[in-house]
Structure 1
Amino acid sequence: MSAAVAPPCLPALALLLWAVCEAVVGMPAEEQCVYLDSAQHLDTVGLSQDGDVVIGALINVYILPETLDLSFTKHSWISTLSNNVCVCFLSFFHSFQESPVQWAQAMVFAVEEINRNPSLLPGVRLGYRIMDSCTRLPFSLRAALSMISGGNGTCETTRPVKLIIGDPSSTQSLILSKTLSPFNVPMISYLATCSCLSNKREYPNFFRTIPSDAYQARTMAQMAKRFGWTWVGAVVADNDYGLLAVQAFQEETKGTGICLAFVRTLFRERLAKDVARAVSAVMASSARVILVFAWYVDVEVFLTELVLRNVTDRLFLASEIWSTSGRLLSNPQLYTIAQGTLGVAIRSAPIPGFDKHLQQLHPSRYPRDTLLRVLWERTFGCNPFWNSSAGSQSSLPPCRGTESLKGVQNGVTDVSNLRVTYTAYLAVYAAAHALHSLLACTATNSSDPSVTPGCSSPNNITPEQVLEHLKLVNFTTQLGEKFYFQDGETPAVYDLVNWQRGPGGTLQYVLIGRVEGSQLIINDSAISWPGSSDKVPVSVCTALCPPGTRKAIKKGLPVCCFDCLPCAEGEFSNITGSSECHHCPPEFWSNSLRNACIPREVEYLSFNETMGITLTTVAVTGAITTAAVAVVFVYHRQTPIVKANNSELSFMLLLSLKLCFLCSLIFVGQPSTWSCRVQQAAFGISFVLCISCILVKTIVVLVAFRSSRPGSAGLMKWFGPGQQRGSVLFFTSIQVIICAVWLSLSPPLPQRNFGIQGSKVILECMVGSVVGFSLVLGYIGLLAAVCFLLAFFARKLPDNFNEAKFITFSMLIFCAVWIAFVPAYVSSPGKYSVAVEVFAILASSFGLLVCIFVPKCYIILLRPENNTKKFLMGKTQ
């Protein structure tokens, strides 16, 4: 392909031809000059006017066919171009575009205005040379080199241009800027929006009167965020304009939760295949919002294919190149699918007097304007130059000469919304002001009347000088707005449009907002959504997670595709689309829906609950039973069985057991500072008093039997009632001291426990000092172990009623209960640990009461005949 195309479009061809003509100066051009370029007719496609300084311009009136002949069986399409310009393959009624003709006329109108203006470039007449780039690089590059070299398609030369306005294509502007940069030829594009052209190091000679795509992409990202579209498809032109625009969109949406569902490209030479792929991607995707950055001709093919496949429920975000396209708006096939389209449009501005200029256009005024001739043929169906060589090949009938554009409505005469036309108009004025500064012009309204208005000679100015002065351009437009270049760029100003159904069902775009810098202003109520719905379309990969859940990214998928997981206990999310759950404050817990925090339920062993009532009933029962046993013992205190079992110690034991039963009640109820301190001390002292009494009783039994042996008669006097009471007091005082030290140094205190049961806060007594609590329990265990051992040794002492045997059983039960208490207490959560301790107190207390006193009460109450000294001493062996 490249080998076939290269010969007729060498970039330096025009310069070479100019050199050949210069080499034969002095000889008749028609005899000596040979123009070697077979496509010399391209230089005549456009319009031109000579002047002291000539401004070059590129427009894209014609477009090339969608598919090129790549068979290589004939000459390349460039070298076979006929005099019908670059569209010899197609009827130019299909490839001719009207809007660029209006852009060209805006440049002509601007030049004519400047030439009439005595304050701008006085005495200097501007000229122009506007050529068609045919929407393809070989033509734009050839045209640019032809303009800067002064070639005109013949051996004659014209004045070289000092500046080029264009190209409208970003891709072609990139290459032209690189090509012209070594010559310091400045370019002012009115439509190339690629953000890559903002790189002044790479493109130092590039300027533009239209905002960069970076601002357009940011605007679309802001709209997507505003309306909640997190899943967006993209169909873009396969060139710098489209690819870099979608890249800028991704940069703007980074970190915002907006993802691209797919990206499909459209390339002119394989448009049919690319459109099919793009439409398939749209149909297969769940994205309902499609970002489209492409030339409007390609967009028309894409939308038409969607209509043929009955895809009508999509919303399109239109780039500035097609958001106001009259061609698309007037296409009846697109009325349904394109309704609701939101677009970013170049700011519209009026050009005073431009409508009259267009109405006065006539081929007779511009006989060499081939574009105007084609426009006339398309509009009026006649050949305006039937008797000239320009129209010799036309099959149309001759025009009458009375045809006029007045009253004609088409893409050339419509001045209701001048967008690209205005940027092209501004580009000419920017060039004029740069020349005005370069030529040190003085205006007629100068404050110094002695200064003669005029400019220095423009004959020796260079493109490099024009480039430097372009950087300093700063003027006020006819609309009163400040215009200046900031690193070759202009401030971002856009209109936001919405495609809506107009009268008769046709489409029209309606202004719904604007963009000024980074500020997005939208009138939501003015928007008509697809399907004439009043609801904003939903375009998400996954619906936003409801309150009470959080987003969990799916592995291998974009961040917009996620699962919604319920918040864990104690966490909540109270907004839609939350990416994380938050912990509730310590005093609160999440509700069942996990969308709010509610106060935790305060839990403790209460008198009002079943467990508390049961334990309280058992404790009171134990205390009453103990009191009843004491009454029985008091009533029968003179009987042998009461006297034989050391009645004084028995009454002390009954008193301590009653205290044990009653101290368990302190553990039930809401913990407070005093209850936390009293319960452990009361428990420890009561049980030590109880065990001390049993221990002393055991010792008394052993001493009593020991004293009955020969030589031991005086032993009992050393352990009389006084010593017994003293021993109980001594053993108990040790526990009192331990409790006093514990309560004074690190006493138990009530505490809210948030970590045991999630939805509940456990109100419990913390032991304060683990050492103190261990010493209390350890001391009780020590006394119980000693008592158990002594009772075990005395269990076989001869007697009909051996109390040591019952003490052994009671201590066995006591030790078993408290050994089982330790693991149960440690593993029980919250109030259940308190219940375990109360149960251990009650179980051990009942064990002592039953094992020691029930046998005695049985004899006293049910076997009174056995309540005699003879019976008690009946067995001596």
Structure 2
Amino acid sequence: MNNDPDILPNITLGYHLYDSCGHEKKVIKDVLQILSGHTVTAPNYSCMDHGTVAGFIGDLRSVTSLPMAQLLGIYGYTQVSYGARDSSLSDRRLYPHFFRTVQGDETQYVALVKLLLYFQWNMVCIFTTYDDTGERELRLLRNELTKFGICVERVFFMTQDKIIDASVTEDLRHYMKFTCIKDSDARRLCFNNKGEISEPLEILNFITKIHEDTGKMKIGKGLTASIGAFDESLPPDQQLNISPADIIWKYNKTPYSRCSEKCSPGFRKAVKRGDHICCYDCVSCSEGEISNETDAENCQKCLTSEWPNETREKCIPKIIDFLSYETDIVAYVFLLLCLLSSIVVVLIIGIFVFFRNSPVVRANNRSLSFIILISLKLSLLCTFLFIGKPEDTTCMFRHIFFGIIFTVVLSSILAKTIVVCIAFKATTPGSQWRRWMGVRLPYSIVMILSSLQVLNGIIWLYFAPPFEELEMDSFPGKIIIQCNEGSTPAFYLMLGYMGFLAAVSFVLAFMVRTLPDIYNEAKYITFSMLVFCSVWIGAIPAYQSSKGKSMVIVEVFAVLASGNGIMFCIFLPKLWNILTNPEPKTRCLSE
């Protein structure tokens, strides 16, 4: 440095050498002796005849460099260490005059963690010195390892004579007027904001040999090989540069240092109770969750419109599901039953039209019979509103249209029953029931009773119309397209009103079922209302306990079963009488 005119022109540096012997008390004594004048130790006094102390170089270890930095900081002297790595010395607020030509422990900790992660090791042992520095380094290193899920299985404390220190190849001398220096290879080295010279850390492969006599491990001279480096100045993903092919492992196999096997995608880590965080079980992601990385801490929940695949590694779109002709055989079964039932109704209507003047057809109000048959046909055709992809339009008219049409059926049946009751009561001479006899009575009953259901439907559509709804959570992996009733009270009011009409018809028909008349259909109405009530009493609980297209299946079944029940219970006996008793029809026609 004295021979280089570019560094300190017209200034000559000298030096005094002191050996601290690695003891804190001795290093304090040596520093005070240098400051006092080499002969006596007099704090705050300088007895030197000539020369000025420019700064201090040292010490090698942190345990002696720390008291030096604390003492020299009081007097404002610059200190340059060539080996102290304690991370606390990077605090510029406490040690503004301290510099070092090596990086602090923090950089080594980062490099060590990246090296462990590179080899996928998460269970390690730590060797450190049995002193304050060793305990501090252990605490800091353990904290850094914990951040990345690396566990410390055991800590070994060693005395100083068992530590093998790497030799220092050179000492960088400088005067602190400059912030950068050049080494022997003409490389420009600068101190960073922590007072450290940041250089890449070389990663060495130590090749060990075992002494045959003592059985102790020894690291001999020349048994090291450079296998990479760590450069903190580079981006995080480029800081570690290592050549695995150049590493010499014992038994030529990379050591395994893990407490548990890796968790594959589709699983998450579940830490074992009372054990290291590195010791865990692999638990499959819960329903509706995935993990797409190895050793995932937590599983990620899929969107409401998605569902995990079989391996639970990624989310896939949910299947759209509804009662469809393309995917459900039961839809074709309902379609076939609907068509057959409609054909039967048409045949009955045709037969009734052909024999419209027969006593069987005329005996129980021919017009009401036609109203019931036509309404039954329309109610059976409502099946088509329930099958297929639900839309707002079909949802709005599905229940309301069926409710109104079937209310017409039940109102007509109730009107027929009331007419039968009045007719037999009016046979008594002087009976007051005679004035109720007439053509307008049954039609008035049908109009009034049906209008109440129409009013309910109008109010329902105006205030809370049914609409298409996507049910995401009822069935795993499926999106159910279904109809929301809009107003649950209106829906059950519709069913309750039909049940009320059926119950009144059943009671009245049951009362007059034994009246003497060959054409009395009260007993058939009784049985038909019993079938209707049985169907819907069983269908409503099944409807409430079902979800998705199962609800639609229950509804379609109830529609077809109740419609066919009324058709066969009331009109099949009439057909039998028409087709098997032609003589009364002939007499009627001849009359």
Say whether the 8 Å CA contact 2:227–2:246 is kept in structure 1: no
1:513 partner amino acid: A
Say whether the 8 Å CA contact 1:615–1:838 is kept in structure 2: yes
1:492 matched to 2:205: no
CA 1:585 to 1:184, structure 2 compared with 1: closer, same or farther past 3 Å?
Answer: closer
1:232-631 superposed matches below 5 A: 232-268=124-160, 295-296=163-164, 321-322=165-166, 420-422=168-170, 425-426=171-172, 429-430=173-174, 433=175, 474=179, 476-477=181-182, 479=186, 481=188, 483-484=190-191, 486=193, 489-499=195-205, 507-510=223-226, 512-517=228-233, 519=235, 521-525=239-243, 528-531=246-249, 539-608=257-326, 609-631=328-350
Give the TM-score normalised by structure 1.
Answer: 0.58
Say whether the 8 Å CA contact 1:810–1:847 is kept in structure 2: yes
CA 1:829 to 1:581, structure 2 compared with 1: closer, same or farther past 3 Å?
Answer: same
- 1:507 offset after TM fit, Å? 3.1
2:198 partner amino acid: A
1:160-179 superposed matches below 5 A: 162=53, 164-177=56-69
**Residue of 13, 16, 19 corresponding to 1:128:** 16
The SS at the match of 2:423 is helix
**Residue of 676, 679, 699 corresponding to 2:398:** 679
- 1:800 offset after TM fit, Å? 4.7
Bigger relative contact order (CA 8 A; separation at least 6): 1
1:126 partner amino acid: G
1:197 matched to 2:85: no
The residue that corresponds to 1:704 in the other structure is 423
Say whether the 8 Å CA contact 1:551–1:564 is kept in structure 2: yes
Larger radius of gyration: 1
State how far apart, in whole Å, the 2-side matches of 1:118 and 1:811 are: 117
The SS at the match of 1:510 is strand
State how far apart, in whole Å, the 1-side matches of 2:57 and 2:468 are: 85
Say whether the 8 Å CA contact 1:529–1:537 is kept in structure 2: no
- 1:217 offset after TM fit, Å? 1.5
Say whether the 8 Å CA contact 2:85–2:103 is kept in structure 1: yes
1:724 matched to 2:429: no
State how far apart, in whole Å, the 1-side matches of 2:570 and 2:416 are: 11
Which piece of structure 1 moves more, 492-501 or 211-220?
Answer: 492-501
1:494 partner amino acid: P
2:141 partner amino acid: F
1:146-185 superposed matches below 5 A: 162=53, 164-177=56-69
State how far apart, in whole Å, the 1-side matches of 2:391 and 2:38 are: 104
1:766 matched to 2:484: yes
State how far apart, in whole Å, the 2-side matches of 1:709 and 1:642 are: 25
**Residue of 101, 110, 116 corresponding to 1:209:** 101
2:130 partner amino acid: D
Say whether the 8 Å CA contact 1:664–1:683 is kept in structure 2: no
Say whether the 8 Å CA contact 2:100–2:197 is kept in structure 1: no
CA 1:583 to 1:621, structure 2 compared with 1: closer, same or farther past 3 Å?
Answer: same
2:16 partner amino acid: Y
Q: Deviations over 1:692-733 (max 9, x none)?
A: 110110011011001101112x74464422332343233323
- 1:170 offset after TM fit, Å? 1.6
The residue that corresponds to 2:216 in the other structure is none
The residue that corresponds to 1:114 in the other structure is 2
Q: State, as a whole percentage, how many aligned pairs show the same letter.
A: 35
Say whether the 8 Å CA contact 1:604–1:831 is kept in structure 2: yes
CA 1:258 to 1:719, structure 2 compared with 1: closer, same or farther past 3 Å?
Answer: farther
Which piece of structure 1 moves more, 845-854 or 533-542?
Answer: 533-542
The residue that corresponds to 2:214 in the other structure is none
- 1:557 offset after TM fit, Å? 3.1
1:679 partner amino acid: R
State how far apart, in whole Å, the 1-side matches of 2:556 and 2:356 are: 32
The SS at the match of 1:822 is helix
The residue that corresponds to 1:786 in the other structure is 504
State how far apart, in whole Å, the 2-side matches of 1:680 and 1:802 are: 33
- Kindly report the root-mean-square deviation, in angstroms, between the aligned alpha carbons of the 2 structures: 3.7
- 1:838 offset after TM fit, Å? 1.0
The SS at the match of 2:124 is strand
1:826 partner amino acid: Q
1:788 partner amino acid: F
Say whether the 8 Å CA contact 1:554–1:563 is kept in structure 2: yes
CA 1:491 to 1:252, structure 2 compared with 1: closer, same or farther past 3 Å?
Answer: farther
2:202 partner amino acid: L
2:364 partner amino acid: N
The SS at the match of 1:624 is helix
State how far apart, in whole Å, the 1-side matches of 2:199 and 2:263 are: 36
- 1:788 offset after TM fit, Å? 2.5
CA 1:199 to 1:679, structure 2 compared with 1: closer, same or farther past 3 Å?
Answer: closer
State how far apart, in whole Å, the 2-side matches of 1:486 and 1:602 are: 61
Aligned pair count?
A: 563
The residue that corresponds to 1:652 in the other structure is 371
State how far apart, in whole Å, the 2-side matches of 1:740 and 1:793 are: 35
Structure 1 stretches lacking a partner, 5+ long? 1-112, 272-294, 297-320, 326-419, 435-471, 871-877
State how far apart, in whole Å, the 1-side matches of 2:244 and 2:287 are: 45
1:797 matched to 2:503: no
- 1:755 offset after TM fit, Å? 1.8
- 1:590 offset after TM fit, Å? 1.4
Say whether the 8 Å CA contact 2:411–2:449 is kept in structure 1: yes
CA 1:116 to 1:476, structure 2 compared with 1: closer, same or farther past 3 Å?
Answer: closer
Say whether the 8 Å CA contact 1:652–1:693 is kept in structure 2: yes
Structure 2 stretches lacking a partner, 5+ long? 41-46, 209-220
2:566 partner amino acid: L
The residue that corresponds to 1:747 in the other structure is 465
State how far apart, in whole Å, the 2-side matches of 1:607 and 1:500 are: 73
CA 1:118 to 1:548, structure 2 compared with 1: closer, same or farther past 3 Å?
Answer: closer
2:352 partner amino acid: F
The residue that corresponds to 1:9 in the other structure is none
- 1:138 offset after TM fit, Å? 6.4
Say whether the 8 Å CA contact 1:500–1:510 is kept in structure 2: no
CA 1:533 to 1:767, structure 2 compared with 1: closer, same or farther past 3 Å?
Answer: farther
- 1:836 offset after TM fit, Å? 0.7
- 1:795 offset after TM fit, Å? 3.0
